[in-house]
Amino acid sequence: MKINRLEIENVKRIHAVMIEPSKDGLTIIGGKNRQGKSSVLDAIAWALGGNKYKPSQAANADSTIPPRLKVIMDNGLVVERKGKNSDLKVTDPEGQKGGQQLLDSFVEELAINLPKFMEASGKEKANTLLQIIGVGPQLAELEQKEKSLYQERLYIGRTADQKEKFAAEQPYYPDAPEEPVSASELIREQQEILARNGQRQQWRREHDSILEKIMKTEDEIESHEASIRALKARLGELDEQRKASEKTPAELKMESTDELERSIDNIELINRKVRANLDKAKAEEDAKHYRDQYTELTNAIEDVRKQKTSLLDSADLPLPGLSVKDGELIYNGQQWDNMSSAEQMIVSTSIVRKLNPKCGFVLLDKLEAMDLDTLKEFGAWLEQEGLQAIATRVSTGDECSIVITDGYVEGQDGVFAKEEPAPKATGWSAGMGF
Ligand X SMILES: Nc1ncnc2c1ncn2[C@@H]1O[C@H](COP(=O)(O)OP(=O)(O)O)[C@@H](O)[C@H]1O
Binding interface with ligand X (CB under 6 A):
12-13, 31, 33-39, 57, 59-62, 392
Would you say 57 or 332 has its CB closer to ligand X?
57
Neighbours of 166 (CB within 10 A): 15
What is the DSSP track for 239-282? HHHHHHT---HHHHPPPP-HHHHHHHHHHHHHHHHHHHHHHHHH
Would you say 388 or 392 has its CB closer to ligand X?
392
The one of ligand X, Mg ion, none whose footprint includes residue 395, by CB under 5 to 8 A per kind, is none
The one of Mg ion, ligand X, none whose footprint includes residue 354, by CB under 5 to 8 A per kind, is none
Would you say 67 or 360 has its CB closer to ligand X?
67
What would the x/- binding string for Mg ion be over residues 37 to 66, using CB under 5 A? xx----------------------------
The one of Mg ion, ligand X, none whose footprint includes residue 128, by CB under 5 to 8 A per kind, is none
Q: Is 334 helix (H, G, I), strand (E, B) or coil?
A: strand
The one of ligand X, Mg ion, none whose footprint includes residue 412, by CB under 5 to 8 A per kind, is none
Provide the phi-psi class of 83: left if phi over 0, else alpha when psi is between -120 and 50, else beta: left
Residue 311 φ then ψ, to 5°: -60, -45
Would you say 37 or 418 has its CB closer to Mg ion?
37
CB of 422 to Mg ion, least distance (A): 26
Rounded Cα distance, 77 and 71, in Å:
8
Would you say 62 or 255 has its CB closer to ligand X?
62
Number of residues this chain uses to bind Mg ion (CB under 5 A): 2
Would you say 37 or 273 has its CB closer to Mg ion?
37
Q: Are strands 402-405 and 388-394 parallel, antiparallel or unpaired?
A: unpaired
First to last CA, the chain: 20
CB of 46 to ligand X, least distance (A): 12
Residue 326 φ then ψ, to 5°: 50, 40
CB of 394 to Mg ion, least distance (A): 8
* Helices H / strands E in the chain, number of each: 12, 14
Would you say 44 or 88 has its CB closer to Mg ion?
44
Vertex 230 angle, CA 225 and 232, to 5° = 80
CB of 38 to ligand X, least distance (A): 3
The one of ligand X, Mg ion, none whose footprint includes residue 31, by CB under 5 to 8 A per kind, is ligand X
Using Cβ positions, the residue closest to Mg ion within the complex turns out to be 38
Contact 391, 29 (CB under 8 A): yes
CB of 397 to ligand X, least distance (A): 15
- For residue 15, with 0-12 CB atoms within 10 Å meaning exposed, 13-18 middle and 19 or more buried, which class applies? buried
- CA-CA distances (angstroms) from residue 160 to 157, 276, 284, 314, 403? 5, 20, 10, 38, 70
Would you say 55 or 327 has its CB closer to ligand X?
55
The one of Mg ion, ligand X, none whose footprint includes residue 216, by CB under 5 to 8 A per kind, is none
CB of 367 to ligand X, least distance (A): 11
Q: Is 401 helix (H, G, I), strand (E, B) or coil?
A: coil
Residues near Mg ion (CB under 5 A) are: 37-38
